[in-house]
Amino acid sequence: MKYTAPRGTHDVLPEDAPVWQALERTCRKIFELYNYKEIRTPVFEMTELFARTIGESTDIVSKEMYTFTDRKGRSLTLRPEGTAPVVRAALEGSLIGKDKFTKFYYFGPMFRYERPQAGRQRQFHQAGVEVFGSADPLLDIEVIALAEQIFSRLGLPDLEVNINSVGCKKCQPEYNKKLKAHFRTHLDDMCENCKQRYEKNILRVLDCKETACQKFIEKAPAPIDSLCKECKTHFDQVLKGLDEHKLVKYKINDRLVRGLDYYTGTTFEVVSKQLGAQNAVCGGGRYDDLVAELGGPSLPAVGFAIGLERLVEIIKSSVMIPRSKLGISLFVVTLGEAARKFGFDLLLKARKAGISSDMDYSGKDLKAQLKSADRVGANFALIVGDNELKSGKALLKHMQDASQEEIKCDAATIVGKLENLI
């Protein structure tokens, strides 16, 4: 039996790990610059949390959740997204409330049972932010600016922000009425799913990918044409702010309703021309009703999540982050038992001094050990045999240009010398 990673999952191998690390470092640094604080939530939650917030008739809840029953018969679900868990945790920990203004960020794996393809996995990773406590359009702009700063710090080209407003509780019923009127006459020619969506949650018809339904979706009315006065003013202020601060290249995309039900007002996605069909590297928006829906006070909120696999894909294809070498500073090459003991002691001291180092543990000969030093990208190899120990002189090889120098065979001297060289 040959074991493979489950379909739709992948391993991050050591050669790719530096790209992931650089990505996470950059996100974290910029999140902190904007005064966001990290929050970590469990990878599974009560199923009800997602069903209520993302929406029963969304693709995520109706067909993509990894749901299981635990030994006590509770229904649990591997988180398909991070927003609902953050709201749950913030309420549970009394972190958000009427007079509090709170900003969170998170990293972590998410799980959706989707058909895997390039840029779409069943386990994928997100870096996200959520801000609670203000309906100020400046905050919508801030989160978009934050995403933009991450992407420009990473040097990602060809990105565009698609932006829309899906309205609030006041204007959504009006829009839903218009959608119903539009689709009513075409319903017989639409797919079975859409017929159900028409009854249960008309907005979700816009998510349909069936060719038969596409031509009717293209002609559907847009939510921005049904916005109430407050939503229209808010959206105009967001766009004006984006223009004034010259933050990003954006395009109003009046079809952008997003695949989760909790949005109110601004929605946005950052798309890359370098990716195929799955081209959204970031998605987010306002969700001013969600906190109250989960039993908290009425508290406006806005946030986004970045899909890290998709970013890694772009970074790897355009090699913009110098793939920091896996290399270490020192590889200790030894010949003979006494030298091996000396070498191991040197390693411990070098590492205590902050010098990354390693040696051979499989009894290879001198030539093979030097090859290992080369393979792990060591900057220096310290060559020491029992004879060198006796004479008190070892060899320090500079791996870059293969030059060698004699050095006193004493751990403190070698560590001191390397500290100066590195």
Give the Å distances, CA to CA, from 333 to 357, 358, 380, 381, 399.
11, 9, 10, 7, 13
Q: Are 110 and 127 in contact (CB under 8 A)?
A: no
- Per CB under 6 A, does 133 bind ligand HAM? no
Indicate the residue among 137 and 303 with the shorter CB distance to ligand HAM. Answer: 303
**Closest residue by Cα to residue 347 from 249, 414, 278:** 414
- Per CB under 6 A, does 148 bind ligand HAM? no
Indicate the residue among 284 and 385 with the shorter CB distance to ligand HAM. Answer: 284
Cβ-proximal residue to ligand HAM, closest one: 307
Choose, by CB under 6 A, the member of 30, 145, 190, 305 that binds ligand HAM: 305
Indicate the residue among 266 and 369 with the shorter CB distance to ligand HAM. Answer: 266
- Per CB under 6 A, does 55 bind ligand HAM? no
- Per CB under 6 A, does 140 bind ligand HAM? no
Q: Which two tokens stand for residue 246?
A: 């010259």
Q: Which two tokens stand for residue 119?
A: 């840029």
**Closest residue by Cα to residue 315 from 376, 268, 270, 272:** 272
Which helix (DSSP H) or strand (DSSP E) does residue 69 occupy?
A: strand 67-69
Choose, by CB under 6 A, the member of 26, 89, 91, 128 that binds ligand HAM: 128
Strands 280-286 and 266-272 come out as antiparallel
- Per CB under 6 A, does 83 bind ligand HAM? yes
Residue range at the interface with ligand HAM (CB under 6 A); choices 28-36, 171-179, 192-200, 297-305:
297-305
- Per CB under 6 A, does 266 bind ligand HAM? no
- Per CB under 6 A, does 310 bind ligand HAM? yes
Dihedrals phi, psi of 204, to nearest 5 degrees: -70, -15
b/e per residue 240-258 (b: at least 16 CB within 10 A): ebbeeeebbebeebbebbb
- Per CB under 6 A, does 307 bind ligand HAM? yes
Indicate the residue among 150 and 396 with the shorter CB distance to ligand HAM. Answer: 150
Q: Contact positions toward ligand HAM, by CB under 6 A?
A: 81-83, 112, 114, 120-121, 124, 126, 128, 130, 259-260, 280-285, 303-305, 307, 309-310
